[in-house]
Amino acid sequence: MYFDGAANHSGYRIGVLLISLHGDHIPRFVRLTFSDQHPATNNIVEYEACILGLETALKLGIKQMKVFGDSNLVLRQIQGEWKTRDVKLRPYHAYLELLVRRFDDLQYTHLPRAQNQFADALTTLASMIDIPADATVRPLLI
């Protein structure tokens, strides 16, 4: 699983790419909405991306997975190497820990942004497409 999130003037968006052992690619991207009173940080959006990927994997019955991301903070915190000091991140971290416990095996790898291009491209796609909330979107097979 590759994940990426972005928070900037274009908004909040996340991208996830699951790749099966057989080479099947399952992309997911989401545009997030936060209120102006409670804006999200880039780290919150990265947590959201990782959560989306793990939730998707669990729905597909996946119990073992390699996780790749360019957020060193999220990956270090999920492994318990770094403490989650930011109060805003604690609820995300707590939920992520619940998800992680449902897997048999997770392995984490930090990637430079340049090696996380597909997930990064999905975040860009999320900012470019405006899909109404009541629209039905069929899966895209790559």
Domain boundaries, the chain: 2-128
CATH of 2-128, one of 3.30.420.10, 1.10.1670.10, 3.40.50.300, 3.40.30.10: 3.30.420.10
Residue whose tokens read 């099947």: 24
* Residues 63, 58: Cα–Cα separation, whole Å: 7
Could you tell me the pTM of the whole model?
0.83
Per-residue pLDDT of the chain (142 residues), as tens digits, is 999 888 877 778 888 989 899 988 888 888 888 777 677 888 999 999 999 999 999 999 999 999 999 899 999 999 999 999 999 999 999 999 999 999 999 999 998 777 667 666 666 665 556 666 676 766 655 5
Tokens 């992520």 belong to residue: 96
**86, 43 contact by CB (below 8 A):** yes
